Structure 1
Amino acid sequence: MRTTRCMLMVAQALVVVSALLAAAAAATAAEYVRPPPGRIILTEHTEPAAHPQQVHVSAVGEKHVRVSWVTDDMRAQSVVDYGKASRNYTASATGEHTSYRYFLYSSGKIHHVSIGPLEPSTVYYYRCGKAGKEFSLRTPPAALPIELALVGDLGQTEWTASTLAHASKTGHDMLLVPGDLSYADTQQALWDSFGRFVQRHASRRPWMVTQGNHEVEAPPLPVPAGSPPPFAAYGARWRMPHEESGSPSNLYYSFGAAGGAVHVVMLGSYAPFNASSDQYRWLARDLAAVDRRATPWLVVLLHAPWYNTNAAHQGEGEAMRKAMERLLFQARVDVVFAGHVHAYERFARVYDNEANPCGPVYITIGDGGNREGLAFNFDKNHTLAPLSMTREASFGHGRLRVVNTTSAHWAWHRNDDADSVVRDELWLESLAAKASCRQHADPAVVDWDDEL
Structure 2
Amino acid sequence: MTTTDVHVFFLLLCLFSPKVAAHGRIPTTLDGPFSPRTRRFDPSLRLGSDDVPMDDPKLAKKVGFNFPEQIALAISFSHTSMWVSWVTGDAQIGKNVMPLDPSTVGSEVWYGEESGKYSFVQNGTAMVYNQLYPFEGLLNYTSGIIHHVRLDGLKPGTRYYYKCGDSSLKAMSKEHTFETFPTSPDHFLRKIAVVGDLGLTLNSTSTIDHLSKNDPSLILMVGDLSYANQYLTTGGKGVPCYGCAFPDAPIRETYQPRWDGWGRFMEPLTSKIPMMVIEGNHEIEPQARGINFSSYLTRFAVPSLESHSESNFYYSFNAGGIHFIMLGAYIDYNQTGAQYAWLKKDLLKVDRELPPGLWQLGILLGDGGNIEQIDIEHADDPGKCPSKNPSIPEFGGICHLNFSSGPAKGKFCWDQQPEWSAFRESSFGHGILEVINSTYALWTWHRNQDAYKESSKGDQIYIVRQPEICLANIAKVSSKDQ
TM-score (norm 1): 0.72
Instruction: Tell whether 2:370 aligns with 1:334.
Output: no
Instruction: Tell whether 2:449 aligns with 1:416.
Output: yes
Cα–Cα, structure 1 residues 414 and 29, in superposed 2: closer, same or farther, change >3 Å?
Answer: closer
Instruction: Tell whether 2:73 aligns with 1:44.
Output: no
Q: 1:121-270, aligned counterparts within 5 Å?
A: 121-129=157-165, 130=167, 131-143=172-184, 144-146=187-189, 147-185=191-229, 186-219=254-287, 224=288, 227=289, 229-258=291-320, 261-270=321-330
Match of 1:317 in 2: none
Tell me which of the two structures has the higher relative contact order, counting C-alpha pairs closer than 8 angstroms and 6 or more residues apart: 2
**What CA distance in whole angstroms lies between the structure 2 residues aligned with 1:369 and 1:202?**
18
Match of 2:339 in 1: 279
Instruction: Deviation per CA, 1:393-448: give whole Å up to 9, x if none.
Output: 1111111101122211111111125526311111122233xx344456699xxxxx
Matched-pair contact (CA < 8 Å) for 1:263–1:295: no
Matched-pair contact (CA < 8 Å) for 2:162–2:176: yes
Give the superposition deviation at 1:83: 1.2
Matched-pair contact (CA < 8 Å) for 1:100–1:106: yes
Look up the SS of the partner of 1:250 in the other structure: coil
Cα–Cα, structure 1 residues 100 and 436, in superposed 2: closer, same or farther, change >3 Å?
Answer: closer
Match of 1:106 in 2: 142
**What CA distance in whole angstroms lies between the structure 2 residues aligned with 1:118 and 1:110?**
23
**What CA distance in whole angstroms lies between the structure 2 residues aligned with 1:33 and 1:181?**
24
**What CA distance in whole angstroms lies between the structure 2 residues aligned with 1:197 and 1:212?**
20
Look up the SS of the partner of 1:194 in the other structure: helix
For the aligned residue pairs, the C-alpha RMSD in angstroms reads 2.3
Instruction: Deviation per CA, 1:355-397: give whole Å up to 9, x if none.
Output: xxxxxxxxx1211111111111123654662221111111111
Cα–Cα, structure 1 residues 404 and 198, in superposed 2: closer, same or farther, change >3 Å?
Answer: same
Give the superposition deviation at 1:80: 0.3
Cα–Cα, structure 1 residues 119 and 179, in superposed 2: closer, same or farther, change >3 Å?
Answer: same
Match of 2:81 in 1: 64
**What CA distance in whole angstroms lies between the structure 2 residues aligned with 1:292 and 1:422?**
39
**What CA distance in whole angstroms lies between the structure 2 residues aligned with 1:216 and 1:289?**
31
1:81 to 93, 100, 110: 110
Instruction: Deviation per CA, 1:103-160: give whole Å up to 9, x if none.
Output: 2211111100011322223221111114131211222232432121101111112211
Cα–Cα, structure 1 residues 112 and 441, in superposed 2: closer, same or farther, change >3 Å?
Answer: closer
Look up the SS of the partner of 1:385 in the other structure: coil
Match of 1:96 in 2: 125
**What CA distance in whole angstroms lies between the structure 2 residues aligned with 1:293 and 1:426?**
31
How many residues are matched?
A: 346
Give the superposition deviation at 1:90: 1.1
State the percentage of identical aligned residues: 38
Give the superposition deviation at 1:76: 2.2
**What CA distance in whole angstroms lies between the structure 1 residues aligned with 2:154 and 2:345?**
28
Cα–Cα, structure 1 residues 32 and 429, in superposed 2: closer, same or farther, change >3 Å?
Answer: farther
Matched-pair contact (CA < 8 Å) for 1:97–1:112: yes
Look up the SS of the partner of 2:441 in the other structure: strand
Matched-pair contact (CA < 8 Å) for 1:41–1:158: no
Q: 1:303-342, aligned counterparts within 5 Å?
A: 333-337=359-363
Q: Which amino acid aligns with 2:285?
A: E
Q: Which amino acid aligns with 2:123?
A: T
Cα–Cα, structure 1 residues 295 and 155, in superposed 2: closer, same or farther, change >3 Å?
Answer: farther
Q: Which amino acid aligns with 1:77?
A: G
**What CA distance in whole angstroms lies between the structure 1 residues aligned with 2:470 and 2:215?**
33
Q: Which amino acid aligns with 1:180?
A: D
Look up the SS of the partner of 1:110 in the other structure: strand
Give the superposition deviation at 1:279: 1.3
**What CA distance in whole angstroms lies between the structure 2 residues aligned with 1:374 and 1:176?**
21
* Runs (5+) with no aligned partner, structure 1: 1-27, 299-332, 338-363, 444-452
TM-score (norm 2): 0.67
Matched-pair contact (CA < 8 Å) for 1:149–1:397: yes
Matched-pair contact (CA < 8 Å) for 2:48–2:203: no
Q: Which amino acid aligns with 2:421?
A: S
Cα–Cα, structure 1 residues 241 and 442, in superposed 2: closer, same or farther, change >3 Å?
Answer: closer
Q: 1:439-450, aligned counterparts within 5 Å?
A: 439=472
Query: Which has more strand, going by share of residues?
Result: 1
Cα–Cα, structure 1 residues 442 and 336, in superposed 2: closer, same or farther, change >3 Å?
Answer: same
* Runs (5+) with no aligned partner, structure 2: 1-39, 91-101, 133-139, 230-253, 382-413, 477-482
Q: Which amino acid aligns with 2:431?
A: G
Q: 1:368-379, aligned counterparts within 5 Å?
A: 368-378=368-378, 379=380
Look up the SS of the partner of 2:433 in the other structure: strand
Q: Which amino acid aligns with 2:188?
A: P
